[in-house]
Amino acid sequence: MDLSLFRQRSAHEWEIRPRDDMQVPAVIFATEALMGEMDQKVYEQAVNVARLPGIVKASYAMPDAHWGYGFPIGGVAAFDPDQGGVISAGGVGFDISCGVRCLHTGLTRADVAAAQKDLAEALYYRIPAGVGSTGAIHLGPAEMEAMLAGGARWAVESGFGLAADLERIEERGQMAGAEPEMVPQRAKERQRDEMGTLGSGNHYLEVQELTAVFDSSLAAAFGLGIGDIVVMIHCGSRGLGHQIGTDFLKRMATSAKQCGIRLPDRELACAPINSDVGRTYLGAMRAAINCALANRQILTHLVRQVFAELLPQATLSVLYDVSHNTCKVEEHRTNGESRRLYVHRKGATRAFGPGHPDLPEALRAAGQPVLIGGSMGTGSYVLAGTTESESRAFSSACHGAGRAMSRHQASRTWRGRQVIDELAARGILIRSPSQRGVAEEAPGAYKDVTAVVDAADAAGLARKVARLEPLICVKG
């Protein structure tokens, strides 16, 4: 990316000043090295987002930003409905509420070592993964409506997990304002047999060892220590979310034209928040958030069953569950006053700081756990939200390493068996239904997750707490 186009605010903050029809600046949080690695489309997309009606303060991009559909992946933008603000399906993404859940196990590497291969096999065969994967759960019409309205709370009430789990999930496991009747019928049909499945692409289930602590007080508050074994689950709303995104992008393209909104890019199709299309999308999107929360809750239940059979001493309690790819209504201070804004986070995660009332009481003093997934051969991280992040980027942080090359490029560079064998030599067991999928997700296809996390920490978006390294990865 051409750095001459930016004004450098600090070592980790780069600004594109408003020009032409930009409503606000565009700001990217990254080191100079990470900026240099980003493709020029990140610049173009961040600028285009800054042109949308009703945007507040700035168009932001996180340190893991790369090209996406409409918004850059890693993009954050807030809109004020009282100022003509819009909602954009491209600003949420196709995999609505894709996110990460982290589970404590109470185990150490020594506990897992003897059972590692058996555990990898059992998790792979018990938890469906891959393109078009389906599970043992079949939802009829009434169950589908209940799931879309109830989220993880519905899953718990249906026997998938514990009531205590809900306290450690955003929105306490149930997104308010969901309207299942606004979800297209085709989306419901696609999801009918996909509950309790990982899906494909960058989705995964990993058994990880905690290998480094950067803030001992925050780690203690999160119940984390050196040598701990945890499980991370990364997945979203599967076919339902994708269908909602596809359908509403078409509807929003028509709506934008009817409302006189000039789109700098057709992929930024949007609708006024206070329009019929905007309200309908919100109801459907919130239902998709509930779908993703329910899906991760069912996967948690399946993981517990596997551990109960092979390592019955494991505890499998939830540390936290965070979503990216959402639009949520939040109170934020801008220009000295508190305003109710619609915050789009696409490939970015919420990062509320200490004392925020939406956090569970047990975590409130420390701040929100922020879960950053790496690639299957590199580390993942646990961070904590900061008070400073509120003024930086509407309490937002990065969500992963971010791709450094396309899936097509990766599949031409590596072979799946090569990647699996190289990782096995390092003690990391990979299980996947797709050799091509493994090649597309090769560790080298991603940015350096440590550099991304260090940049987020230095920029004040979130504070580093701990590093986790994979032992087992079930890949979609």
| Mean of per-residue pLDDT scores for the chain | 95
Reported as a pLDDT band with limits 50, 70 and 90, residue 51 is very high
Reported as a pLDDT band with limits 50, 70 and 90, residue 109 is very high
Mean pLDDT of 151-172: 97
Mean pLDDT of 409-424: 92
Instruction: Determine the pLDDT at residue 405.
Output: 87
Around 158, how many Cα atoms within 13 Å sit in the side-chain half-sphere?
21
Where do the domains of the chain lie? 3-404+446-475
Residue 140 has pLDDT above 90, yes or no: yes
Catalytic center residues: 399
Name the CATH architecture for the domain at 3-404+446-475: Alpha-Beta Complex (3.90)
Instruction: Determine the pLDDT at residue 377.
Output: 86
DSSP 13-52: EEEE---TT-SS-EEE---HHHHHHS-HHHHHHHHHHTTS
DSSP SS3 for 423: helix
Could you give the angle at the alpha carbon of 125 between the alpha carbons of 122 and 126, nearest 5°?
A: 80
Instruction: Determine the pLDDT at residue 376.
Output: 85
Reported as a pLDDT band with limits 50, 70 and 90, residue 335 is confident
pLDDT digits (tens, 9 = 90+) for 172-201: 999 999 999 999 999 999 999 999 999 988
Rounded Cα gap, residues 267 and 253, in angstroms? 8
Residue 260 has pLDDT above 90, yes or no: yes
Residue 428 has pLDDT above 90, yes or no: yes
Residue 429 has pLDDT above 90, yes or no: yes
Calculate the alpha carbon distances from 143 to 140, 151, 413 in Å.
Answer: 5, 11, 44
Instruction: Determine the pLDDT at residue 206.
Output: 97
Residues contacting residue 31 through CB under 8 Å, at least 6 positions apart:
11, 12, 63, 451, 454, 455, 458
Mean pLDDT of 91-98: 97
Q: Provide, rounded to the nearest whole percent, the portion of the chain with pLDDT above 90.
A: 89
Element (H, E) at 421: helix 416-425
For helices 276-310 and 141-157, the axis angle rounded to 10 degrees is 50
pLDDT digits (tens, 9 = 90+) for 52-75: 999 999 999 999 999 999 999 999
Residue 133 has pLDDT above 90, yes or no: no
What are the two backbone dihedrals, phi and then psi, of residue 101, each rounded to the nearest 5 degrees? Answer: -115, 135
Reported as a pLDDT band with limits 50, 70 and 90, residue 94 is very high
